[in-house]
């Protein structure tokens, strides 16, 4: 088991954190729009397309976090055999191992789980109308990103929004087609990225009266 000094751990964590946040922003700016183009072949309503992508983002983080929890337990059990430090150092060693060995994550399993959850989501079109697997590459990127975000200390996560919630300037940007005088969220376009309850990257919503 490789032992890292606390200072080196902090530097490594900060560097990885910055890269993952940048990746999250790139997915929002580029790959999200690519996914919209793919979905428009099946769904003409842009609101529904944006709802599908938002649900895909939430489900990807949920599936990745569940997979990470199972993976960490397995890795800690393996590392504990030859580990000489305490529980705290074992936790750090497990996070470092998972961050460096991306192959421990079966991302294909998470992608299928996300698509299955979307197929039974009552707010989304039924599977006969749209094949959510057309955005499987987009879902895969989100799952990989979310999984790696769990190796940080503290981990990063996305905020779960509810239609009709009060608009928060600290958490969201308004989409360009919003009613800028409306105080409530009609629907969510992209989730906010959070760290210990603090907003790191604002999400996007549509507000309407």
32 with 77, same domain: the answer is: yes
102 with 132, same domain: the answer is: yes
d(C-alpha 175, C-alpha 204), whole Å: 6
pTM of the model as a whole: 0.91
Across 171-191, average pLDDT: 96
d(C-alpha 166, C-alpha 182), whole Å: 9
On whether residue 93 sits in a domain, the answer given is yes
DSSP-derived 3-state class of residue 172: strand
On whether residue 1 sits in a domain, the answer given is no
Residue 205 pLDDT exceeds 90: yes
CA atoms within 13 A on the CB side of 71: 25
90 with 113, same domain: the answer is: yes
- Using CA atoms, how far residue 199 sits from 2, 98, 194, in Å, is 33, 25, 5
On whether residue 25 sits in a domain, the answer given is yes
Residue 72 pLDDT exceeds 80: yes
Q: With bands split at pLDDT 50, 70 and 90, how would you rate the model's confidence at 10?
A: confident
40 with 70, same domain: the answer is: yes
Phi, then psi, of 203 in degrees rounded to 5: -90, -170
Looking at residue 13, its pLDDT comes to 83
176 with 88, same domain: the answer is: no
Q: Tens digits of per-residue pLDDT, 15-50?
A: 999 999 999 999 999 999 999 999 999 999 999 999
d(C-alpha 196, C-alpha 144), whole Å: 21
135 with 204, same domain: the answer is: no
Residue 58 pLDDT exceeds 70: yes
174 with 110, same domain: the answer is: no
128 with 147, same domain: the answer is: yes
Q: With bands split at pLDDT 50, 70 and 90, how would you rate the model's confidence at 1?
A: very low
- Enclosing domain of residue 116: 6-155
The rounded percent of the chain whose pLDDT value lies above 90 is: 78
69 with 125, same domain: the answer is: yes
On whether residue 80 sits in a domain, the answer given is yes
97 with 164, same domain: the answer is: no
Q: Tens digits of per-residue pLDDT, 112-169?
A: 999 999 999 999 988 788 899 999 999 999 999 999 999 998 999 999 999 999 999 9
Looking at residue 209, its pLDDT comes to 86
Looking at residue 85, its pLDDT comes to 66
Residue 3 pLDDT exceeds 60: no
Average pLDDT score, the chain: 92
42 with 119, same domain: the answer is: yes
170 with 148, same domain: the answer is: no
Tally of domains within the chain? 2
Contact predicate 144/98, CB 8 Å: no
The rounded percent of the chain whose pLDDT value lies above 70 is: 93
Which position has the higher pLDDT, 83 or 34?
34
């Amino acid at each position: 088991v490789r032992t890292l000094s606390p200072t080196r751990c902090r530097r490594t964590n900060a560097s990885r954190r910055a890269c993952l946040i940048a990746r999250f922003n790139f997915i929002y700016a580029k790959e999200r729009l690519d996914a919209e183009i793919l979905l428009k072949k099946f769904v003409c309503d842009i609101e529904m397309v944006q709802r599908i992508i938002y649900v895909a983002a939430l489900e990807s983080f949920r599936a990745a976090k569940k997979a990470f929890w199972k993976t960490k337990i397995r890795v800690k059990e393996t590392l504990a055999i030859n580990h000489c430090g305490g529980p705290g150092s074992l936790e750090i060693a497990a996070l470092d191992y998972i961050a460096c060995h991306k192959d421990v994550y079966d991302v294909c399993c998470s992608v299928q789980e996300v698509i299955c959850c979307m197929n039974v989501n009552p707010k989304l079109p039924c599977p006969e109308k749209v094949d959510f697997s057309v955005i499987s590459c987009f879902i895969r990127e989100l799952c990989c990103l979310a999984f790696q975000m769990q190796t940080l200390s503290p981990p990063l996560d996305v905020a779960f929004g509810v239609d009709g919630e009060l608009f928060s300037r600290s958490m969201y940007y308004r989409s360009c087609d919003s009613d800028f005088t409306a105080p409530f969220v009609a629907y969510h376009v992209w989730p906010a990225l959070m760290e210990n309850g603090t907003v790191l990257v604002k999400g996007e919503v549509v507000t309407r009266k």
